[in-house]
Chain A
Amino acid sequence: MATSSSKVIILLRRLRDLTREGKVEWSKLRDSPTSFEYMSPSSGRVLLVSRDDDGLPPIDFVVYGRDGTVVSRVDWTSHRRSSGALTEIDSDILDLYGLAAQNLSGAAQVIDSLLEELPASDDDIPF
């Protein structure tokens, strides 16, 4: 049985994979446009919070219950000044944040639709 702290990491990684596949929609917070929100239809919501509101690490992964109470969170722990030395979990948070930002910009959809519109190249694999 996974503990709640390991479960929240599982949730973080699941959201990252689903966001990469385009199966999860993120939105910007009105008061803090550098923080992103995933709203579950029934269970609650998840926020990716850029602590300094600058769209850069440290970024925290916060899970809220339906009533808005913080249920669980994964805090950024790496030191910003130690170049390149991110913990595995911080790296996952950063991946998710980047994917959520891409999801919001609609870049993936635009590229996909452009690829669909363009005639197929001879080099493309036909399946």
Chain B
Amino acid sequence: MRRILALPWYFRVPLLLVLAAAIGTVVGLAVSALSLHVKVKGQPLTWVDWTTAIGLPVAVVGVGITWLQVLQTRTAAEEASAAVDRALTALGKSELLVDFQTMRQLEYDFDGAKTASPEVVQGLIKQVREVGSRIAATLRQKDPNDALIGEIEAVRQTASDARVVIMGGRKNLNLWSVTRKLREELVPLCDKISTRMHNLRLEVGSEFDGNE
């Protein structure tokens, strides 16, 4: 019953209706059998009693078939629900892969931005914060205690600090030195991200292979 209740409403409602009908039939059968039993003991049987006597096993078979259909439907519904869950998980992993890749690209972009304008550097910082936020949120859903979340939040904070310094608009601001801490923190983070990417690719690949 708990498994039925856990299904989506469009599976749950019809299944519960069928179950209610089956229970009603069983109760009706019990009442009919009781009345037939009383009749057999007291008086000779009429055609109504014979109809009841034949109808009883037919109804029992009917309840049995209904129950089997309920089981089959439930299995199909559960499989459909599990397939949707698997598809969503695979989609989430693919999105995480894209975000991991973007974060690694940002590390390269920072390295290449030695002579970039403050606007370009601000744009990169903004992306680090955004992509980092998405990665942290996805990892948090999977495992709130994932150590990578803390490292990403630390990098986001460093990015924020660099942004505040650039916003001051100081004359002759050395952007390379302002972003040094951020670039230094991005290197080990992206190394770990690379390892995760490799594992994630294997997971996603095997899931897609399994679905085929």
* Cβ of B116 under 8 Å from chain A: no
Asked if B129 and A62 make an inter-chain contact with CB atoms under 8 angstroms apart, the answer reads no
Asked if A67 and B170 make an inter-chain contact with CB atoms under 8 angstroms apart, the answer reads yes
- With a cutoff of 8 Å between Cβ atoms, the chain A residues found around residue B169 in the complex are 68
Asked if B130 and A62 make an inter-chain contact with CB atoms under 8 angstroms apart, the answer reads no
Minimum Cβ distance to chain A for residue B140 (Å): 9
Given A31-B119, A31-B122, A51-B160, do A68 and B129 touch, yes or no (CB 8 Å)? no
Most buried by B among A47, A51, A60: A51
Partner of A68, one of B126, B133, B168: B168
Which interface class (under 10, 10 to 19, 20 to 34, 35 or more) fits B?
10 to 19
Partner of A69, one of B126, B129, B133, B168: B168
* Cβ of A100 under 8 Å from chain B: no
Partner of A29, one of B129, B133, B167, B170: B167
Given A60-B164, A62-B164, do A53 and B170 touch, yes or no (CB 8 Å)? no
Contact with A along B137-169 (1 / 0, CB 8 A): 000000000000000000000001001110111
Given A31-B119, A52-B130, do A68 and B164 touch, yes or no (CB 8 Å)? no
- With a cutoff of 8 Å between Cβ atoms, the chain A residues found around residue B129 in the complex are 51-52
A-side residues, CB < 8 A to B, are 29, 31-32, 35, 47, 49, 51-53, 60, 62, 64, 67-70, 73
B-side residues, CB < 8 A to A, are 119, 122, 126, 129-130, 133, 160, 163-165, 167-171, 173
